[in-house]
Amino acid sequence: MESEVPTVSSQVESPFSPPLLAVLEALLRQHPGVSAAKASSHHPQLGQVTVHVVPNDEYLASFLKGDAEERKRLQTWRKTFDLTQLGKEAASAEVGFNIAGWNSSYARQPIPEPAMREWVAHTVAEILSFAPQEILEIGCGTGLLLLRIASQCKRYTATDFAPAVLGKLRQQLEVMPGSWEGVSLLERAADDFTGMAEDSFDTVVINSVLHYFPSVSYLIRVLEGAARVLKPGGRIFIGDVRSLPLLKAYCASVELYQAEGDVPLNELRERVTRRRKLQDQLVISPAFFLAFGERNAKISDVEIRVKRGRHDNELTRYRYNAVLHARSEPNNKTTVPWMEWTNLQHGRADLQRVLREEQPETLAIRGIPNARLNQDLFALKRIFDPHASATVADLQADLLAQQPNGIHPEFLHDDGDLAGYRVDLSWARCPEDGSYDAVFSRKNPNHQQSIAVDWPQLSTAGADLWTYVNVLGANSLRQRLARELETFCQQQAPPEFQSCSIQLVDSLPATD
């Protein structure tokens, strides 16, 4: 490899002539962690060469693949959850409703109890709609779901890796009325399926857990294990997944909330970018599940569901549920004629009229603007406008003057309920504006569950699964790569460049 590097001629007079800098760039481009490199010298002294490097994301993610790194991350999270159970909040929690540790990223305060009650109620209703009898719950926590579902099932096996959390759940099972004979609790990591037979559960629940997984390979391992123990005809319910297409809008909304009024928007923009890079949790595109479903023989189809809930918070705005079905008749998808939301001239009034008067068997509408995200998307656009010269206070004033826009998903559920329709809402197109698609299907007492619909979805053909997940804690990984590249230069570059400085950037600076 070394012999392929162009050698530096000692005859070159200026140590920083463009050809010489090109040598350094060529050397760095041979490193697998480098996608692009541009060397520049603004000072004629030796050692003042800066190389801007665009890192290779796949290489950054490879830092996470090591077992030691995975273990370290898991231990940190386990400790985090155990600590939540040592505080006053957990000690005074109502039996059956221990929400210690559920904090808002905005206010850094506990998410208000009514919002959490609604969140639990919708999640429980969604799972019970499958009429499950044999459930495996991975990451059961303090039992917010288990304590509401298990007594209606034959068997409920629940796992969690945090001993103090499981201890709290055991205490509640002892004092709460209910038939808990079918419940077994196992202290173990999510990827441990030891002792679980193939095809042994009709429903696997993994709720609000995926973002704590330490790597994409771990995530894939868990889903493969879940699919293996799933009975044909069953489903994997994955709740509360943080959305990658909306990550930037989420980061912008949090930073805007926390910023002082006099902060200029260009500084806010930097904070948003930094927050995005510092994410220590897995943030996953719905496309990941679509692609996983296509690659796993047992999974027949995948639903990407928009969260239910009237409370407005990061859970309802920025998360979704994925349901991976292993249907017995995998090819029995209902083809529905799709119409665009923009074709409904009077919006919701038209929709209500069609449902009431025409009463179609199904009605499928795509591209419905999302009222939950209207303000955040407006703010995002302004923050990333390169000509923006305003401050946070200016932006907040503009937001107050904004006309409401879009349709709240719960309004469509109301319209459906009123006209006797089941409503399913999807994010399978993975839109960055949070717009969604809807299918209204006439309620049938014999068929409560969602029908397999050919939802419009992002094509995932040929793409690697890791491209649909953020790079965890990218900031520390980037620092690690920068150090690695500096060592690489010390060992391989001509003496003039051995102390060059590496700056990792998202794109190369424009050439002069």
**Cα-flanking dihedrals φ and ψ of residue 67, to 5°?**
-60, -40
In angstroms and rounded to an integer, the radius of gyration of the C-alpha atoms of the chain is 26
State how far the Cα of 284 lies from the Cα of 461, in Å rounded to an integer: 17
Site stretch for other proteins (CB under 8 A), options 75-83, 112-120, 391-399, 453-461: 75-83
Give the residue from 385, 155, 186, 160 showing the smallest Cα distance to 268.
Answer: 385
From the CB of 242, what's the least distance to other proteins, in Å? Answer: 15
Q: Confirm or reject binding of residue 342 to other proteins (CB under 8 A).
A: no
Report the site for other proteins in 78-107 (rule: CB under 8 A).
79-80, 83, 86-88, 91
Give the Cα separation of 226 and 191 in Å (integer). 9
Q: How far is the CB of 87 from other proteins (least distance, A)?
A: 5
Polymer length in residues for the chain = 512
Single out the segment in contact with other proteins by CB under 8 A; choices: 48-56, 273-281, 314-322, 443-451. 273-281
Member of 76, 402, 449, 487 binding other proteins (CB under 8 A): 76
CA–CA separation, 277 and 472 (whole Å): 8
**Of the ranges 51-59, 77-85, 336-344, 445-453, which one interacts with other proteins (CB under 8 A)?**
77-85
CA-wise closest residue to 207 among 248, 255, 166, 240: 240
Q: Give strand pairing partners of 94.
A: 97
Q: Which residue type is seen at 38?
A: K
- Using CB under 8 A as the binding criterion, the count of chain residues that bind other proteins stands at 16
Nearer to other proteins, 334 or 476 (CB): 476
Q: Binding residue for other proteins (CB under 8 A) from 9, 129, 479, 487?
A: 479
Locus of tokens 């969602």: 450
Beta carbons within 10 angstroms of residue 138's beta carbon: 27
Cβ of residue 102: shortest distance to other proteins, in angstroms?
12
Residue 397 C-beta: closest distance to other proteins, Å: 24
Would you tell me the crossing angle of helices 265-278 and 247-258 to the nearest 10 degrees? 130
DSSP string, 204-257: EEEES-GGG-S-HHHHHHHHHHHHHHEEEEEEEEEEEEEBSTTHHHHHHHHHHH
Q: For other proteins, which residue of 352, 362, 396, 475 counts as binding (CB under 8 A)?
A: 475
Q: Which stretch binds other proteins (CB under 8 A): 72-80, 139-147, 376-384, 429-437?
A: 72-80
Residue (282 or 428) nearer to other proteins, CB: 282
Tell me how far apart the alpha carbons of residues 406 and 429 are, in angstroms, rounded to a whole number: 17
Our CB check for other proteins shows the closer of 6 and 87 to be: 87
Our finding on whether 278 is near other proteins (CB under 8 A) is: yes
CB of residue 278 vs other proteins: minimum separation in angstroms? 6
Binding site for other proteins (CB under 8 A): 76, 79-80, 83, 86-88, 91, 108, 258, 274, 278, 280, 475-476, 479
